[in-house]
Structure 1
């Protein structure tokens, strides 16, 4: 039976809950869905209550033409936590999912959250005169972002191809085609709105609001964000630890799920 939660603005979000114990909510990234964490769900649900869901506009959730911004995504998360009657939740955000967490903290503080895990995401994507730890190792500017917005609107498949090749340059053609088959199912207007929302954000000031245990995981070979961005997060979030997956990319959750699960489990039991 498929489970859906209906938000206060009448959007149905698909979700799955497996296991019992300490609740961990996994939040996926841009253009992805709950299946990003299928291995974590299968393994960790033996010990924890593992919750995965599709952000609005993604996966099986409703694809609306409203509420497509990080503020609404954060409110969706708050309503979802309330619907499931959860407390002391651990939030795990991968890529854009990390920004859903940051936005949640901006709007609602640390309400009902006990720990967080940030996976391979800088607090600001756009690089400028004051910031060089953003997307593509400091090379992605607002000019680049505006060109990408136009590309998403005019040729989503073209953008998707560039995005995947930038994210995983080591993919062979079979791996690339599998990723393309999945990403092309997204709705271009949703992807446009979310890319626009992301390029407008700067969460550097949010970091000082975080004083709960925080795990930061970065890929040592990520083509999206440098390890220095991870170090910046660690330096600016109290009670945080940084772990580098040296030989892995932005896709480290899928590339080394055994280590990822072990590191996350150690983090949850340490405090």
Structure 2
């Protein structure tokens, strides 16, 4: 399925098209929405599950436009508005979670009822105020070190071939251009969403991968001190792509969180 943004970029999405409450999934930077495949299967009897490919990723259009988090947040708002979706549960992996923070910075709760953050701290640059950022990224080596960010595997657990094979084929046919999207990576890494997280008025679940190659999983617990509406949990023996590496455990944690919050 396709949706066109206000700046005329065509985004691809999937939709289980049921009358159940809506749950929208957003992949990380450069990643495919197909990484949510197993999670969609586990959730579809309880939620209408939609997966949106961000601009320049998956099957969405490649463009020079909108290489900033604010535009990605607006894409989400326009997407939800186009389908008249409200009280949405939004799940974001990595940059997908940052998109949710950007959304909250622009729209408050907007059309959302709850957020789920899959392995993304609110701040990626390490400094004296926050030491749970991305690897060894600091103000001294930002942004140049980001050119070498993709030197380790994001996953710790081997992803099931039923997920991995279609993702690989999709990437071959619709490659992600890291060089063309470098400015977006820099914008993503530059942000500090702690003030947004502090003012969130809707529940937020933060799930961290115990073996994430990018972030110290203790960031999840640290986020609970920012806002008492935040819950956290660490998925053991898991890397950065929780929804594909440990879909059953990740989904179980999400469902428990949603049940607790009446969603």
> Does the alignment pair 1:200 with 2:190?
yes
Corresponding residue of 1:140: 137
Task: Give the gaps of 5 or more residues in structure 2.
Answer: none
Corresponding residue of 1:264: 254
Q: How does the TM-score come out when normalised to structure 1?
A: 0.86
**1:256 Cα deviation after fit:** 1.4
Query: What per-residue deviation string (whole Å, max 9, x for no partner) do you get for residues 204-230 of structure 1?
Result: 111111121221111122221112211
> Does the alignment pair 1:34 with 2:33?
yes
Corresponding residue of 2:5: 7
> Does the alignment pair 1:107 with 2:90?
no
Corresponding residue of 1:226: 216
Is the contact made by 1:15 and 1:51 (CA closer than 8 Å) also made in structure 2? Answer: yes
CA distance in 2, matches of 1:181, 1:49: 26
> Does the alignment pair 1:214 with 2:204?
yes
**1:180 Cα deviation after fit:** 7.7
CA distance in 2, matches of 1:180, 1:142: 34
Corresponding residue of 2:96: 97
Corresponding residue of 1:66: 65
Secondary structure at 1:188 match in 2: coil
**1:189 Cα deviation after fit:** 4.1
Q: 1:182 to 1:131 in 2, by over 3 A?
A: farther
Q: 1:28 to 1:84 in 2, by over 3 A?
A: same
**1:236 Cα deviation after fit:** 1.0
Is the contact made by 2:157 and 2:245 (CA closer than 8 Å) also made in structure 1? Answer: no
CA distance in 2, matches of 1:98, 1:265: 18
CA distance in 1, matches of 2:38, 2:158: 20
CA distance in 1, matches of 2:180, 2:83: 26
Task: Give the gaps of 5 or more residues in structure 1.
Answer: 153-158
Q: What number of residue pairs does the alignment pair up?
A: 254
Secondary structure at 1:227 match in 2: coil
Greater percentage in helix? 1
CA distance in 1, matches of 2:94, 2:62: 20
CA distance in 2, matches of 1:90, 1:4: 21
> Does the alignment pair 1:46 with 2:45?
yes
Corresponding residue of 1:77: 76
Corresponding residue of 2:14: 16
**1:262 Cα deviation after fit:** 1.6
Provide the aligned C-alpha RMSD in A: 2.4
Is the contact made by 2:155 and 2:238 (CA closer than 8 Å) also made in structure 1? Answer: no
